[in-house]
A and B are shown apart, each in its own frame.
Chain A
Amino acid sequence: MSLLSYLINGISLGSVYAIIALGYTMVYGIAKMLNFAHGDVIMVGGYVVFIMTSGMGLPPVLAVLVSMLVCTVLGMVIERVAYKPLRMAASPLAVLITAIGVSYLLQNLALLLFGANTKSFKSVVTIPPLVLAEGQLTISGETIVTIIACIVIMAGLTLFIKKTRAGQAMLAVSEDKGAAQLMGINVNGTIALTFAIGSALAAVAGVLLCSTYPSLSPYTGAMPGIKAFVAAVFGGIGSIPGAMIGGILLGIIEILGKAYISSQMADAIVFAVLIVVLLVKPTGILGKEIQEKV
């Protein structure tokens, strides 16, 4: 029974990773950059909800919506100010280093505004836990909401990309920016939209993460952010179902590693997965290969 509950916890944590990984994978697919600050947007989302619920006593649903709005704007501002000017830069390292700078900036702004001490986050989920098998297996409300949210987001995003013009434009830009531009697609707008969606999802992920593990600090987003990138690579960067599969597998690996190998080494195990994947199949489970033209 304990294995089953570990698996469920793993899927729950993995669902959060999957939602964060979606942001990474979409941005990577379309803007061809690793948005290092994505994890810290999660943290910002967490703080917005924390202030609105614990500070101002507003209803959680409203708090989550406002948090999504704030993160959406934040994501678009970051893209416009820090990344867009470097899109055609001579060195591919330029935008990556800038992204690291943005991550650093968000963390330290949070540190100044909210202090270094960890806040205890009040869960926004009010559903009672599900008790199964005569009390031997308990599934928390947070777990249920997280898994459902992940499935809904996944389905919604797939539909959005398949059925809407904006979604098709995203696909076109990720295939070939130049050709998309020639076809009359607004490339800058599409990239901004991608950042907006990714950041809104980061806010959702932040709320779910903080509800499941009820603490919040300026560094809350950093590690899950990096792990979600691992998940995106694992599943195949640029692929939306890949992010989902990679996220959930990674969540399960992490929880099982914590339970059966060593709780201190759980992070190391996750990173070891990344290294093995990149060495064995650098394109990930569902990714496709890109070759430089000579």
Chain B
Amino acid sequence: MALLDVQNLCISFGGLRAVDDFEIHIEKGQLYGLIGPNGAGKTTVFNLLTGVYKPNEGIIRLDGTDITGKKTIEINKAGIARTFQNIRLFKGMSVLDNVKVGLHNHYQYSSLAGIFRTPSYRRVEKEMNERARELLEVFDLAGEADFLASNLPYGKQRKLEIARALATDPKLLLLDEPAAGMNPNETRELMDTIRLIRDRFDMTILLIEHDMKLVSGICEALSVLNFGRILAQGETGAVLNDPQVITAYLGE
């Protein structure tokens, strides 16, 4: 059974069908790409998958559970985490705390324990710090743990956002244009990081990207979206050679 199974997903905004009859099946451990021209509805698909928008029609199943129409919070708890096209960090908080917010639902103590700093508070906080530092280590951010998130350079902000998403311990990670604004070196580094996440965390990843080098370099399968509809879908090499895709998207 597919980890993510989406069928007949539709949403309209004021009569305009932003996403129409969208379907996707992602196997566990797969690195999947969602591509398409600007305004094709890619981010809208992410917003539908994460409950920011409620679909008009369709079914979203994660690991066999129906999560259609659920709230963002519940969907995150069910196992989908994401990053944003325009980075959304907790800018007034430290890099470490950004990740610790991601760990929020996995490490618990009561409010009173927090205020009175009971032994359980100290123990859990210590565990959280260790776990958060581990994650920062993976993204080469451990040295900046005490920096204010807004003071990180752009590339590192993107990485921190991924680290924070991973902290919620998802089954599926959605990355919205992770390479946007990066130079070729940073992009190459990012590709390694994404592969590393997949291997090390046994993660399933769905990403939106415009950088074709990145897409063809790491994605095993692709869906191409055009005007809210699926244009082509399947194994990366085959999709990228599809004449329809080339005229609609790559040929420009």
Which A residue's beta carbon lies closest to that of B52? A294
- How many residues on chain B are close to A (CB under 8 Å)? 4
Docked Cα-Cα span, A294 to B47, in Å, equals 8
A170 shortest CB reach to chain B, Å: 24
Chain A residues 254 to 294 lying within 8 A of chain B, measured CB to CB, are 294
Docked Cα-Cα span, A294 to B50, in Å, equals 11
Question: Please, which residues of chain A bring their CB within 8 A of the CB of B43?
Answer: 294
**Chain B 61-89: CB-based contact to A (< 8 A → 1; otherwise 0):** 00000000000000000000000100000
Docked Cα-Cα span, A294 to B82, in Å, equals 12
B41 shortest CB reach to chain A, Å: 13
Which B residue's beta carbon lies closest to that of A91? B92
B100 shortest CB reach to chain A, Å: 23
Which A residue's beta carbon lies closest to that of B43? A294
Question: Please, which residues of chain A bring their CB within 8 A of the CB of B84?
Answer: 294
B233 shortest CB reach to chain A, Å: 25
Question: Please, which residues of chain B bring their CB within 8 A of the CB of A294?
Answer: 43, 47, 52, 84
Docked Cα-Cα span, A294 to B45, in Å, equals 12
Docked Cα-Cα span, A294 to B52, in Å, equals 8
**Chain B 84-112: CB-based contact to A (< 8 A → 1; otherwise 0):** 10000000000000000000000000000
Docked Cα-Cα span, A124 to B250, in Å, equals 73
A266 shortest CB reach to chain B, Å: 41
Docked Cα-Cα span, A294 to B43, in Å, equals 8
Chain B residues 152 to 181 lying within 8 A of chain A, measured CB to CB, are none
A88 shortest CB reach to chain B, Å: 16
A180 shortest CB reach to chain B, Å: 21
B203 shortest CB reach to chain A, Å: 23
Docked Cα-Cα span, A292 to B100, in Å, equals 26
Which A residue's beta carbon lies closest to that of B82? A294
Chain B residues 35 to 54 lying within 8 A of chain A, measured CB to CB, are 43, 47, 52
A199 shortest CB reach to chain B, Å: 35
Question: Please, which residues of chain A bring their CB within 8 A of the CB of B47?
Answer: 294
Chain B residues 12 to 68 lying within 8 A of chain A, measured CB to CB, are 43, 47, 52
**Chain A 232-243: CB-based contact to B (< 8 A → 1; otherwise 0):** 000000000000
Docked Cα-Cα span, A275 to B104, in Å, equals 33
B134 shortest CB reach to chain A, Å: 29
Docked Cα-Cα span, A294 to B18, in Å, equals 15
Docked Cα-Cα span, A205 to B45, in Å, equals 50
Docked Cα-Cα span, A294 to B84, in Å, equals 8
Question: Please, which residues of chain A bring their CB within 8 A of the CB of B52?
Answer: 294
Docked Cα-Cα span, A51 to B47, in Å, equals 60
Chain A residues 16 to 61 lying within 8 A of chain B, measured CB to CB, are none
Docked Cα-Cα span, A151 to B52, in Å, equals 44
A288 shortest CB reach to chain B, Å: 11
A150 shortest CB reach to chain B, Å: 34
Which A residue's beta carbon lies closest to that of B44? A294
A89 shortest CB reach to chain B, Å: 14
Docked Cα-Cα span, A289 to B84, in Å, equals 24
Docked Cα-Cα span, A49 to B231, in Å, equals 70
Which A residue's beta carbon lies closest to that of B150? A90
Docked Cα-Cα span, A294 to B49, in Å, equals 13
Docked Cα-Cα span, A294 to B174, in Å, equals 14
Which A residue's beta carbon lies closest to that of B72? A294
Docked Cα-Cα span, A294 to B72, in Å, equals 13
A175 shortest CB reach to chain B, Å: 15
A129 shortest CB reach to chain B, Å: 52
Which B residue's beta carbon lies closest to that of A90? B91
Which A residue's beta carbon lies closest to that of B176? A294
Docked Cα-Cα span, A168 to B149, in Å, equals 42
A65 shortest CB reach to chain B, Å: 46
**Chain B 213-249: CB-based contact to A (< 8 A → 1; otherwise 0):** 0000000000000000000000000000000000000
Which B residue's beta carbon lies closest to that of A292? B52
B238 shortest CB reach to chain A, Å: 32
A47 shortest CB reach to chain B, Å: 42
B56 shortest CB reach to chain A, Å: 16
Docked Cα-Cα span, A79 to B52, in Å, equals 36
**Chain A 119-156: CB-based contact to B (< 8 A → 1; otherwise 0):** 00000000000000000000000000000000000000
B149 shortest CB reach to chain A, Å: 13
Which A residue's beta carbon lies closest to that of B91? A90
B162 shortest CB reach to chain A, Å: 17
A293 shortest CB reach to chain B, Å: 9
4 A–B contacts, CB within 8 A, in A order: A294-B43, A294-B47, A294-B52, A294-B84
Q: Give A residues with C-beta under 8 Å from B.
A: 294
Q: Give B residues with C-beta under 8 Å from A.
A: 43, 47, 52, 84
Interface pairs A-B: 4 shortest CB-CB: A294-B52, A294-B47, A294-B84, A294-B43
